[in-house]
Structure 1
């Protein structure tokens, strides 16, 4: 998302939140709207605490079993973000927070965020000077792909030592060669 897009999001989302608060306040009354917002904040705090503990336990289990806790770290981040969104007053942020914090909807959020961040990283990699190295299709331009048109770096390989049957053998320099 560009800077202009972020600016518009930070400008438009609060306006939508206020508009929704006014609509709900006109429909159910001001007091009931405030009670609903407070209930959402309390629910957010409780849900963040409960799911945070569950995510922490999953993280500990993954680390003790010796595997990389990718999913658990992502779940922890989503639970924290969801809880923070639930603590912010507003119905749109509450919906997003519930979507991120509930264990039922978290896999959907995980796939959507993985897709979004995958596209962002691919776009950033393509714009980098090393963009041809990140061609995922393996087509022309990809290293080792058909019609490989990647950069060729000319150089010289110098081997001072060689391995013979698991032993390092140091080559002796020829006295006739100058260093």
Structure 2
């Protein structure tokens, strides 16, 4: 797992830089910088507005005595997506928008839920508690 994370944190930035350099060759350095800045600002705004809605729905679920499991997964997706949108790059921005925008996020959440259910059914999901 550690190796996969190290690979992810070294390969993705290199690929992102290559894409940004290539994009800069096609459209120019200034426009590339503008794209990076605009996606960061728009991503921060979307993440904030989606996050506020999720927090409101979590509070509503808790006040009605329900466990806000779906909203917690929604919140996790928005946090990860927001972090990716603040990271400069085309690939991370694409994944970030997919995770932040509600209709596309629902597809990802359905996949996560299905995977967790399969892991529970197969007995491969383990929880460890510390005292």
- Tell me whether the two structures share a fold, i.e. TM-score over 0.5: yes
Match of 1:68 in 2: 67
Q: What's 2:90 paired with?
A: 91
* Alignment partners' CA distance in 2, 1:115 and 1:65: 26
Could you tell me how far 1:5 is from its partner in structure 2?
2.3
Higher relative contact order (CA 8 A, sep 6+): 2
Q: 1:19 to 1:118 in 2, by over 3 A?
A: farther
* TM-score normalised over the length of structure 2: 0.85
- Name 1:12's counterpart in structure 2: 11
Post-superposition offset of 1:71:
0.4
Which string of whole-angstrom CA distances, capped at 9 and with x for unpartnered residues, describes residues 10-52 of structure 1?
2211111111101111111100000000000000110011101
Give the number of the structure whose residues are more often strand, by fraction.
Answer: 1
What is the Cα deviation at residue 110 of structure 1? 0.8
1:141 corresponds to: none
Q: Distance in 1 between the 2:105 and 2:57 partners?
A: 15
RMSD: 2.0
Structure 1 residues 22-37: aligned runs within 5 Å: 22-37=21-36
Q: What stretches of structure 2 of length at least 5 have no aligned partner? A: 127-131
